[in-house]
Amino acid sequence: MAQELSKEVMVREIIEFYEHKNGSVTDAEKAELSRQPLEEIRRRHQYVEHLYEHLHTVQNTILGIEAIQAKRAASAKLEHQRDLEDFEWYREQEVEKDAVAAAQRKAQEPQDRKDFAKLARQHGLSECRANVTLWLSTHSIDGMAKATRTELDAYGQELIEKENVRLLGLGPVQLRQEARAAGLQSRIQGQQNEADEVLEAQRERDSRTIFPVLPENWQGQKLDAAFIKSCSAETQRLITRRFGAYQVQALLNKA
């Protein structure tokens, strides 16, 4: 059991509390307090103790809140530092990837330029800087500028020079074979030109008469080049009269 405090001790502690609270206590107030009965002194002392306990509780709560806030601040700072480190790591990775990609593009550029030079000659495109830049960035020839007459003449001269170099490297037998092949190709081209002229003449004649469009089927059979070639002469004449020689010949040329 705790020892009970004397009246003098309780009075002193009450006065200390008032001084802490109000800043000062007059002698008259001290004398007035000392004259109070013991029960009143006890009551006031208990009240003071209760206030001190409440104050300690508040102080501890504040300290606990400050500790939590400090811990959260430290955690947030650590998380922020980690975020910065992660960002820096990702940035370094992106820089490294960009550097690798740039090196790859630089290494690939000579081959890309050769490829474009070939495409430019195949499709009649200009080798101007804008076209080259567009090709290096997109690998597409859409929207490119056409070659100028000077460039086209230069492309043609290149082909002639390459062919001359190739022919100079051939032996007598190979040259004769080349000549025969060129002659055969010339005859084939001539025959094709003649067939084209005949077909055009037929189209011109048929344009003076409105013929119906050639159907896909004839008497239950598919009307194609094979059917025209295998049907009877009478059926061929009937189809030609009905739909025109141009459409029939054009169908045969597709075979």
Q: How confident is the model at residue 208 (pLDDT cuts 50, 70, 90)?
A: low
2: helix, strand or coil: coil
The mean pLDDT of 147-162, rounded to a whole number, is 88
Give the contacts of 117 (CB within 8 A, at least 6 positions apart). 127
Q: Taking the model in full, what pTM does it have?
A: 0.35
CA distance 114 to 116: 5
Q: In this predicted structure, what is the pLDDT of residue 145?
A: 92
- Could you count the other beta carbons within 10 Å of the beta carbon of residue 154? 13
Nearest residue to 52 (alpha-carbon basis) of 6, 86, 21, 23: 21
Helix (H, G, I), strand (E, B) or coil at 221: strand
pLDDT, tens digit (0-9, with 9 covering 90-100), for 75-123: 888 888 888 888 888 888 888 888 887 787 788 888 888 888 888 888 8
The yes-or-no verdict on residue 133 having pLDDT over 80 is: yes
Section 203-210 average pLDDT: 64
In 10 A of CB 243, how many CB atoms? Answer: 19
Tens-digit pLDDT profile for residues 14-65: 888 888 877 788 888 888 888 889 898 889 889 888 988 888 888 888 888 8
* Measured torsion, CA atoms of residues 236, 238, 244, 248, in degrees rounded to the nearest 10: -20
- DSSP string computed for 137-185: HH---TTPPBPPHHHHHHHHHHHHHHHHHHHHT--HHHHHHHHHHHHHH
Average pLDDT, the chain: 83
Has residue 1 got a pLDDT over 50? no
Percent of the chain past pLDDT 90, that is, above it, reads 8
Q: Please report the pLDDT score of residue 126 as a whole number.
A: 92
Q: Pseudo-torsion of CA 67, 68, 70, 75, nearest 10°?
A: 140
pLDDT band at 10 (very low <50, low <70, confident <90, very high): confident
Which pLDDT score is estimated for 190?
A: 63
Pick the most confident of 192-201, 207-216, 224-233: 224-233
